Amino acid sequence: MTDFRNATRSVIFRAKDMYNGVWASELHEIDGGLYLYFSMSGGGKGHFSYMLKADDPSDPMGNWSDAIR
């Protein structure tokens, strides 16, 4: 992933209606896995950290897990 300006766009996560404030996303490769960490608030429960994991770490445009708190 080097040419971000011309990269194909892909949505890997959509927050449910009661959630908002998705921010501070970070992409990390850890022990061969590809993970996206971010913060999100909503549902009257405060702001928490969440994680998504790529099904195939060599294909960041592919499928990702559901958000895990």
22 neighbors 39 (Cβ within 8 angstroms): yes
Q: What is the pTM of this model?
A: 0.82
* Cα 60 from Cα 54, distance rounded (Å): 6
Each domain of the chain, given as residue ranges in start order, spans: 10-69
Look at residue 1 in the predicted model and tell me its pLDDT: 65
CB atoms within 10 A of CB 52: 18
* Cα 57 from Cα 61, distance rounded (Å): 10
- Write out the chain's pLDDT in tens, 69 residues: 678 789 888 889 998 888 888 888 999 999 999 999 999 998 777 889 999 999 999 998 899 999 999
Look at residue 38 in the predicted model and tell me its pLDDT: 95
Three-state SS across 32-44?
A: CEEEEEEEEEECC
* Cα 6 from Cα 33, distance rounded (Å): 24
